[in-house]
Structure formats: structure tokens, C-alpha cells
């Protein structure tokens, strides 16, 4: 089957625009998602006629077409085990119209290039996916991309003015051409009537209309954009807007005209610190009222997990860290919840001698929350030099001591860049503690009090 597929494609596409070697097929087997599908061939069409031809061939051969532009999709939209149609190379049109108020685009141009062209008009496109340097118009429209600033107000769906598209039967329609509205009804009466009937069903049910409106108040790119049935009346307009977010399943987008937005010449950004996710969220209404167009929430734990990477900016490592004393009540609440969820025999936590204020806060709360358990406070070597004499020792074999160091490296990547962090510190401390309890290595703890139970005989 694959051989006949390749033979058919070779009939129409020159070698420079057709890839069928295994190495090429594997090179195109992934996008930004975690899915892998190896296409049977990759084709690079140049014209609408070739798209029509591909639809015909796919139907003849009983296989599918999947379009691809930047390949930055996160859910496997641009991988396939059928024919992969790459439109990132030959569909580059960007034409500014109406003094920058509109822009005419083809699928194979990145959002960044469109914005670059619009910049001298003080305009930009609405959708602003974080991937805009690689994401192209075909994918931006077909995924109904949005972004930090455009939200759901100026996303692909809401900024689409016109679209020219090819259906699987090879018919081409353009919402910019007034005659295409009647032509759609005449040449595809099945589709026209089907869409009109669906719209009637939606509109006759007030609770469904209200539900759809509610669901699309926030970002909703799950399934087809059925808000098109509420927002538009003519079946061609409905279909045109269903294409936005259809991930290439309803037809091929050959060209579009987008409404542009002002690209403000002066912009400012601020980095604010909050003690907890809760207080950050509480600040949202006030920040929105200042006119902020985008608010991005970055949590410390997530940043900590990447701050050791060479490409991470150094200021990440210097962000405020220890804030537990300021959120004492929240820390207590979390510990109380933990205590309610389990009944441990031993609680291991930092100790009150610890120089780090977060550790000390935890040490202060733990005995008040875990009253019936043996609480052993462990040691954390650090620059502050806060080690004191421990009272409980637990001898370790050399193998366990090394395993502990291994796990420390693995579990605290953000600390690995500290100049004192190395095997010697951890093994050295374990060796010292081992010497103190007549073992090779040991883990040691502080213990404030413990209860001995049992009868006396």
C-alpha cells in the first residue's frame, strides 16, 4: 500500500517536494507533544490545485491528510501515520491592508513575521501564543491560538474577518466573495442544510445558548468552536468559524484576512512578589483595574526546578526564598492538614537550631501539630554553619550513605549550583556522625523529648 501511495505521489510531486525516506519520515514523526506517529510521506504542496489533488489521492488511497505548519502543537495535532502535508514552505503571503487595520495572510508564515510587517503601522495580530516565533498562521488559526494578552477577546476566532478554504471534496469557498454564500447553498446543499439545522436546534434551546455563551467566556479550545452556531447565522460563516480551532479536520485554510490590534509603542512590565499563591490571586482584580493587559503567575517551586539550567537567567537563583515566617498561619494549616491525613510513627523535620527561617518556622510548628509522634529533627549542612551536637544516631552502611547523597543530588537540582554542595560535605558529615556513634557513617538527629512506654518487671 505504501509503495503504491509513494508511486501515486511521485506522479504529481517532484522529488524536491516529496519526502518518503525512512529518515525523513522519522524526522517528521513528532511535534511539540509527546506523541509519535510516523507519516507515510511528507508532501509540500504549492497551490490550492495541489491541495485538491491531495484530497482526491487520499480518498482514492483510503488514507488521511494532516496539515502541518510550525509543528509546535502540544497535543499531537501535527503528527500522523497518513500523509503529512507541510505548508510551512510555500504559503508565505503577508499583505497589509487598510493602512494596517487588516492583514491578509497565508498559512506558511509565522506570527512573528506578520507582526514584524505590521510593526511600522503600529499594529499587531490578535493571537499571541508564546510560540509565536515558530507558530505559523495555519496552525495559529486551526488551533484557535490565543495567548497572554489577547485572552478570549482577540484570539484567532474573534479576529478572523475572512477565510478562503478547501473542503475534502475539493470545493473552495471564500467568505470575502459575496457570491460564495449562494454558491455554498447551491453546490453543497447537504452541508448548508445540516449546519442550518444544527443552528436551529441550538437557538431553539435557550438554556443551550446560555451554556455555550458561558463556556466560551474563558479559553475553550476543547473540540469544535460551537460558539460559531450562536455568533453567526449564515452556514458559510458558521463553517468558516468552525474551521478556527478545528485542527485541520474540516478543511484546508488557504488564506485569511485578520483584524489587527494596536501595538502600543510604550509598554511596561513589572515583577511583583507575593508570599503565597493565594495573596497573588487576591491581587488580580486590583492589578486588572490598573489596566494591566496580561498577568502571568510564576510559582517559586516551578522556577526552582529549572533555575540550575545554564540557560536560566541568574536572577532566578536570587529571588526571595525564605518567607515562611510571613505566612505562619498558612504553613500551620498545611501541616495540620498533613497530620489529619496520616498517623506516622516518626516525624522527620528540620530542627529549631536551623539557621534558615523557613526551616525554623516548620520546626516551631511541627511539635504543636504532631503531639503523639516521635519528632526527630534532621541536620541540613549549610553556609550559615548551624550544626550543633545531635542526640540520636542512626548508623548507615557505606552503600546507604552513598545512595543518600545520590538522592540529594537528584531531588534538589536547584541547590546543585551552590559552591559548597558536593559529595564530600554530605559524606564527611555522615562520617563524623558515624565516628561519634562507633559506626562508619551515620545519620543524626536532635530530639527534644521522647516517651518510653512498657511495663516494668
Ligand X SMILES: Cc1cc2nc3c(=O)[nH]c(=O)nc-3n(C[C@H](O)[C@H](O)[C@H](O)COP(=O)(O)OP(=O)(O)OC[C@H]3O[C@@H](n4cnc5c(N)ncnc54)[C@H](O)[C@@H]3O)c2cc1C
Footprint of ligand X (CB under 6 A): 31-32, 66-74, 77-78, 87, 107, 129-131, 135-136, 138-140, 142-143, 145-147, 247-248, 252-253
Minimum CB distance to ligand X smaller for 78 or for 260: 78
Report the distance separating Cα 234 and Cα 274, nearest Å. 49
Closest separation in Å from C-beta 187 to ligand X = 21
Q: How far is CA 287 from CA 31, 127, 269, 292, in A?
A: 36, 22, 12, 6
Q: What are phi and psi for residue 380, nearest 5 degrees?
A: -125, 105
Q: How far is the CB of 439 from ligand X (least distance, A)?
A: 50
CA 138-139-143 angle, to 5 degrees, is 125
Give the list of residues 6+ apart from residue 44 with CB closer than 8 angstroms, or none: 13, 17, 18, 86, 87, 89, 90
Q: Which is nearer to ligand X, 141 or 365 (CB)?
A: 141
Q: How far is the CB of 164 from ligand X (least distance, A)?
A: 10
Place of cell 445558548: 209
The burial class, CB within 10 Å (0-12 / 13-18 / 19+), for 399 is exposed
Task: Write down the least CB distance from residue 132 to ligand X, Å.
Answer: 8
Q: Which is nearer to ligand X, 139 or 351 (CB)?
A: 139
91/426 with CB nearer ligand X: 91
Least distance (Å) between residue 251 CB and ligand X? 7
Nearest residue to ligand X, by Cβ distance, number only: 139
Q: Which is nearer to ligand X, 146 or 361 (CB)?
A: 146
The β-bridge partners of 350 are 378
Nearer to ligand X, 222 or 329 (CB): 222
Burial of 41 by CB count in 10 Å (0-12 exposed, 13-18 middle, 19+ buried)? buried
Q: Tell me how far, at minimum, the Cβ of 33 lies from ligand X, in Å.
A: 9
Shortest separation between residue 417's beta carbon and ligand X, angstroms: 24
Helix (H, G, I), strand (E, B) or coil at 28: coil
C-beta closer to ligand X: residue 86 or 307:
86
- 428 half-sphere exposure, CB direction, 13 A CA radius: 8
Closest by CA to 347, choosing from 323, 363, 331, is: 363
Q: SS3 for 191? A: helix
- Nearest approach in angstroms of CB 403 to ligand X is 36
Least distance in Å: CB of 333 to ligand X? 33
Give least dist CB 404 to ligand X, A: 36
Of 5 and 135, the one with the shorter C-beta distance to ligand X is 135
- Residue 377 neighbours by CB under 8 Å, 6+ apart: 348, 349, 350, 351, 352, 353, 354, 363, 445, 446, 447, 448
Segments of 123-220 assigned E as strands: 123-125, 160-166, 172-174
Given the complex with ligand X, which of 252 and 375 has the nearer CB atom?
252
Nearer to ligand X, 107 or 350 (CB): 107
Provide the grid cell at 293.
Answer: 493587559
Retrieve residue 48's grid coordinates: 490550492
The CA distance from 292 to 389, in Å, is: 53
- DSSP lists the bridge partners of residue 43 as 18, 85
Amino acid at each position: 500500500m505504501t509503495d503504491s501511495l509513494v508511486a501515486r505521489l511521485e506522479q504529481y510531486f517532484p522529488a524536491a517536494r516529496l519526502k518518503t525516506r525512512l529518515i525523513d519520515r522519522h524526522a517528521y514523526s513528532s511535534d511539540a507533544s509527546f506523541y509519535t506517529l510516523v507519516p507515510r510521506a511528507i508532501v509540500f504542496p504549492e497551490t490550492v490545485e495541489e491541495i485538491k489533488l491531495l484530497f482526491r489521492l487520499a480518498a482514492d488511497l483510503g488514507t488521511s491528510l494532516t496539515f502541518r505548519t510550525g509543528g509546535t502543537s502540544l497535543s499531537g495535532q501535527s503528527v500522523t501515520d497518513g500523509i503529512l502535508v507541510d505548508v510551512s514552505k510555500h504559503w508565505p503571503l503577508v499583505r497589509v491592508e487598510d493602512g494596517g487595520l487588516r492583514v491578509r495572510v497565508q498559512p506558511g508564515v509565522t506570527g512573528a513575521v506578520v507582526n514584524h510587517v505590521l510593526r511600522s503601522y503600529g499594529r499587531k495580530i490578535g493571537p499571541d501564543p508564546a510560540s509565536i516565533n515558530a507558530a505559523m498562521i495555519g496552525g495559529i488559526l486551526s488551533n484557535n491560538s490565543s495567548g497572554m494578552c489577547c485572552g478570549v477577546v482577540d484570539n484567532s476566532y474573534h479576529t478572523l474577518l475572512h477565510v478562503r478554504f478547501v473542503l475534502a471534496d475539493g470545493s473552495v469557498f471564500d467568505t470575502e466573495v459575496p457570491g460564495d454564500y449562494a454558491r455554498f447553498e447551491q453546490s453543497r446543499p447537504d452541508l448548508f442544510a445540516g449546519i442550518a439545522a444544527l443552528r436551529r436546534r441550538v437557538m431553539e434551546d435557550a438554556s443551550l445558548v446560555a451554556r455555550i455563551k458561558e463556556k466560551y467566556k474563558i479559553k475553550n479550545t476543547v473540540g469544535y468552536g460551537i460558539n460559531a452556531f450562536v455568533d453567526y447565522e449564515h452556514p458559510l460563516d458558521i463553517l468558516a468559524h468552525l474551521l478556527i480551532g478545528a485542527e485541520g479536520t474540516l478543511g484546508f485554510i488557504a488564506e485569511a484576512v485578520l483584524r489587527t490590534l494596536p501595538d502600543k509603542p510604550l509598554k511596561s512590565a513589572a515583577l511583583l512578589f507575593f508570599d503565597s499563591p493565594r495573596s497573588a490571586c487576591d491581587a488580580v482584580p486590583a492589578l486588572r483595574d490598573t489596566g494591566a493587559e496580561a498577568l502571568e503567575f510564576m510559582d517559586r517551586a516551578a522556577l526552582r526546578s529549572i533555575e540550575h539550567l545554564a540557560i536560566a537567567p541568574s536572577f532566578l537563583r536570587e529571588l526571595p526564598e525564605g518567607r515562611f515566617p510571613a505566612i505562619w498561619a498558612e504553613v500551620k494549616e498545611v501541616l495540620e492538614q498533613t497530620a489529619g491525613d496520616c498517623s506516622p510513627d516518626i516525624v522527620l523535620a528540620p530542627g529549631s537550631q536551623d539557621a534558615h527561617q523557613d526551616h525554623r518556622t516548620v520546626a516551631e510548628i511541627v511539635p504543636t501539630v504532631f503531639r503523639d509522634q516521635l519528632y526527630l529533627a534532621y541536620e541540613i549542612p549549610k553556609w550559615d554553619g548551624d550544626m550543633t551536637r545531635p542526640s540520636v544516631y542512626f548508623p548507615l552502611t557505606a552503600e546507604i550513605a552513598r545512595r543518600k547523597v545520590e538522592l540529594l543530588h537528584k531531588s534538589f537540582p536547584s541547590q546543585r549550583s551552590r559552591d559548597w554542595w558536593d559529595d564530600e560535605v554530605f559524606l564527611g558529615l555522615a562520617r563524623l556522625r558515624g565516628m561519634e556513634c562507633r559506626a562508619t557513617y551515620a545519620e543524626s538527629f536532635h530530639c527534644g523529648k521522647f516517651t518510653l512506654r512498657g511495663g516494668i518487671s
